Amino acid sequence: MLTVVALATPMELFFSEVWLIYEYQRDFMPLFVPAGHYFLFDLGRRAARQMQISWAMPLLLPFVPMVLYGAWTGGDTSGVVMLLLVLSFTKWGPEPRLYAAMAWAALAMELWGTYLGNWTWAAEVPWTGLTAWNPPLLVGAFYCFGDLLVNLCVAKFEGERPMEVTA
């Protein structure tokens, strides 16, 4: 979990201070954010342990019509890219249950954080030509990518070969 915080913090700073895909209420990342990543990821891990692996893909199905609606209206075209990422990670990644759990946990956290006004997502995703809702529907895709990075780093530090993903 320390690796999660060590990777999530610079990624958070990149997303908010360089890429500018969201902005914090007081213009800089609050100190609770790194710890929040730890607790949210831990919640996802605990939820994933309670889930049958066969549930992973079906749990993502409710996102499909919402993503299609966002793309059709033009309000959240980034959702298509993030849906493809989450589905790909869930299909071929090492932790499908975790990715499904994180899609929902991250959405809940984002809805709460934006409701409270702690941060605001950009309506237009810089450098991409894509649009996003505030919050984007499948922001959990970032956690899927983060899990891949954590697995690679831990394997490297422990002197193991990274997990090979097979179709």
Is the pTM of the predicted complex or chain greater than 0.85?
yes
More confident residue, 56 or 166: 56
Q: Is residue 17 part of a domain?
A: yes
Distance between CA 155 and CA 59 in Å, rounded?
29
Number of domains in the chain: 1
Helices (H), 14-95: 32-49, 56-60, 63-73, 78-92
Q: What is the pLDDT of residue 165?
A: 47
Q: Is 164 a member of any domain?
A: no
State the chain's mean pLDDT as an integer: 90
The rounded Cα 139 to chain-centroid distance in angstroms is: 4
d(C-alpha 37, C-alpha 143), whole Å: 9
pLDDT grade for 167, boundaries at 50, 70 and 90:
very low
Domain assignment present for residue 167? The answer is no
Q: Which residue has the tokens 């956290």?
A: 109
> Cα–Cα distances in Å, from 111 out to 3, 88, 108, 124, 138?
26, 24, 5, 18, 11
Is the residue at 166 inside a domain? no
Q: Does 162 fall in a domain? A: no
Name the least confident of 33-42, 48-57, 112-121.
Answer: 33-42
Give me the domain span that covers residue 16: 2-157
**Residue 166: pLDDT over 50:** no
Q: Does 165 fall in a domain?
A: no
- Residues 56 and 48: their CA atoms lie apart, in Å, by 9
Residue 163 lies in a domain: no
Q: CA distances (Å), 104 to each of 45, 89, 108, 156, 162, in order?
A: 12, 15, 6, 29, 27
Taking the alpha carbons at both ends of the chain, their separation in whole angstroms is 27
Query: Does 10 reside within a domain?
Result: yes
Q: What is the pLDDT of residue 161?
A: 63
